[in-house]
Structure 1
């Protein structure tokens, strides 16, 4: 299934991520315009890349434009090109990004920051499938699939008048909403493992995993910068950590200080409540998966990663332990893998 291949590109096992991967698998094969919305750092460009990779236009041009980085005066020339002499400094004809993306895909990153004048010209391209270079009266037909990303809620922006409503409807033929990391905490262990493996290939480091207590801190933190912030924290920890794991003392103070005691007492019922149950995500399956992984990592750590001892602590046999480790993508550290009882 295409969804399985998409899942390999997008890290996570939560129901929200599975649904996004399912959507990508469906829409990738169409020509429809796609709008990807989400907070900064949630992985919008990763989703755009996955749509392109699994589309019928894979292998054709994939042109990326950061709309937030272009001034109003440069935007039109950058997107649609210009002819020689069209303005001061236009010393030769120049193709725009849409013409360069012909027969392929264009990614309009942070489109919510595009000036209104540029929005009007973009709308014409989406309606007519043609561009007019700056300084020219000649139209050029283009066949381009558009993927747009934004951290702005465009529907709200359209109501406020800061974004064209007609352009919003043109862009949002298919819309994917990426949840912030705090709404899919069960994916954090998988993302951490991914970043550790990624960095291990690019830097000299002893780090091969995360101490269970440190992992709990990472899971409980709200991550206002989302995946981008998590990636930076893991990279920084791997640079300064001299041990084989990332421990709590190496994490930034604001993440350590965010940690709360595991249990609080309800003033009405006097029943201990784990604060993780106060998460917005009350999906029982997601919560059980998160705790199951933490429990296994704790047992492995206490048993010094000896599988027979770990299985005994958990009250299961080694075969079942192997199943759970595979299920949660838990890998043996390199220095443990060769042990006879590993």
Structure 2
């Protein structure tokens, strides 16, 4: 049976097939062999699981290794192909690499060289398979309003993937509305705890007198009104994840008890005499600088260090403006369905206004803005007049993020990326949305323009020309300032 550690050796020389089969079995691989193209093609098609590596001769009596490469890649993009060739066919082997082969070796070859090459090919196959698995998990499991192709969001999602497999505590920080709860849920859903509960505690909404009971439970009769036994959130979430939202609001007395639970992994409810072991991953979230509370002795330093093992800082929406169109489109589609309206998109003016607005309420505010616009819209498109005044008025103001250097500096790549994006919008607006004319205005090829639009997650259609009020001359001044 083919597995990720299996190799298919294809050559019409029986002696070479036997030698390579023995060599790779000694290396710990599952080895299958085929005497020619037809047999190998059928083996690739019928294998229950794609081969990790196919090592094939280039020239065979009944077919070409190039054709076999195509069959293997059609079966699975995770299969790596290594081509064996004679000196006289090196140019064809190079062509095989252009078509997707991992590498090639010339006959006769040293076994040490071939072993090292096959080992690297398996490493690449495993890496491609793992990347595909992670992408599928994120597409299937991550909350949709974590959409975003900006560099900050890519880094956040990559971090969420890496830390999802561990059990350590995580502190998620960021302004209100940036999606702290949603990234916490994504961490849970990407982990092996995803089938267990994910429970959220709003630490600022529970009265101090009831907090211990809510978190750790109580025994029947432990206090007035305790008519039944209560497990508490930590025991209800056993095997899963607990998010302590606004963890900075915890009273000092409760902080001591929480610290002990994190250290001992045991809870004791109010009125109980015995402790119960629990297996819960704890995530904390806060929208204020909790370090200031530590300095002011309002938050225990030892608890802070216990929570802040891994930190995830959610960026405000104004620092990832390139994600606004994608988020707005998602919210528009969802709200249109909820309100039973058929709204196909946003006008160029509305997009420009959203692009210029600073979103003090972040993603949550954007969602509310789109929902309001859908409710008010009378046509098939969201226009500038459907947006709140504070948003529609922002379109006439130049974006400060590109027109001046922040006091705390900036990320040059992000600034230049935003500069490029805005110039593309300007060129598209000037050309009436005709991409060939926009490319000519920018002095690039149409292929280059398409690539850049894809990089910035810009729509590549003719529905509506995109635009910006910031002129190219103003934007180019930014580049000059950076050079200075």
TM-score class normalised by the smaller sequence = 0.7 to 0.9
What are the Cα deviations for residues 288-318 of structure 1, in whole angstroms up to 9, with x where unaligned? 544555566677677777xxx4433443777
- C-alpha deviation, 1:262, in angstroms: 4.6
- Measured on the aligned residues, the alpha-carbon RMSD in Å equals 2.8
- Alignment pair present for 1:4 and 2:135: yes
Q: What does residue 382 of structure 2 align with?
A: 246
Q: What does residue 312 of structure 1 align with?
A: 437
Which deviates further from its counterpart, 253-262 or 99-108? 253-262
Residues 20-99 of structure 1 correspond to what in structure 2 (within 5 A)?
20-99=156-235
Distance (Å, rounded) in 2 between the aligned partners of 1:204 and 1:279: 45
Flag structure 2 segments of 5+ consecutive residues without an equivalent. Answer: 1-130, 465-484
**In structure 2, the residue corresponding to 1:63 is in which secondary structure?**
strand
Distance (Å, rounded) in 1 between the aligned partners of 2:432 and 2:318: 31
Rate the CA distance shift 1:262–1:95 in 2: closer, same or farther, 3 A: closer
Distance (Å, rounded) in 2 between the aligned partners of 1:331 and 1:194: 17
Distance (Å, rounded) in 1 between the aligned partners of 2:430 and 2:374: 22
- C-alpha deviation, 1:245, in angstroms: 2.6
Q: What does residue 241 of structure 2 align with?
A: 105
Which deviates further from its counterpart, 294-303 or 153-162? 294-303
Distance (Å, rounded) in 1 between the aligned partners of 2:425 and 2:379: 17
- C-alpha deviation, 1:150, in angstroms: 0.9
Distance (Å, rounded) in 2 between the aligned partners of 1:295 and 1:304: 14
Q: What does residue 119 of structure 1 align with?
A: 255
- Alignment pair present for 1:165 and 2:293: no
Distance (Å, rounded) in 2 between the aligned partners of 1:123 and 1:275: 41
- Alignment pair present for 1:217 and 2:342: no
**In structure 2, the residue corresponding to 1:68 is in which secondary structure?**
coil
Distance (Å, rounded) in 2 between the aligned partners of 1:292 and 1:85: 67
Question: 2:138–2:190: 8 Å Cα contact kept in structure 1?
Answer: no
Question: 1:28–1:54: 8 Å Cα contact kept in structure 2?
Answer: yes
Flag structure 1 segments of 5+ consecutive residues without an equivalent. Answer: 264-273, 336-342
- C-alpha deviation, 1:128, in angstroms: 0.8
Distance (Å, rounded) in 2 between the aligned partners of 1:67 and 1:293: 41
Distance (Å, rounded) in 1 between the aligned partners of 2:192 and 2:265: 19
Distance (Å, rounded) in 1 between the aligned partners of 2:397 and 2:226: 64
Distance (Å, rounded) in 2 between the aligned partners of 1:317 and 1:202: 42
- C-alpha deviation, 1:52, in angstroms: 0.2
The aligned length equals 322
Question: 1:212–1:298: 8 Å Cα contact kept in structure 2?
Answer: no
Which deviates further from its counterpart, 247-256 or 145-154? 247-256
- C-alpha deviation, 1:174, in angstroms: 0.6
**In structure 2, the residue corresponding to 1:206 is in which secondary structure?**
coil
- Alignment pair present for 1:232 and 2:363: no
**In structure 2, the residue corresponding to 1:238 is in which secondary structure?**
helix
Structure number with the bigger relative contact order (C-alpha 8 A, sep ≥ 6) is 1
**In structure 1, the residue corresponding to 2:201 is in which secondary structure?**
strand
Rate the CA distance shift 1:289–1:190 in 2: closer, same or farther, 3 A: farther
- TM-score for the superposition, normalised by structure 2: 0.60
Structure showing greater Rg: 2
Q: What does residue 145 of structure 1 align with?
A: 281
**In structure 2, the residue corresponding to 1:69 is in which secondary structure?**
coil
- C-alpha deviation, 1:5, in angstroms: 4.8
Which deviates further from its counterpart, 13-22 or 202-211? 202-211
- TM-score for the superposition, normalised by structure 1: 0.83
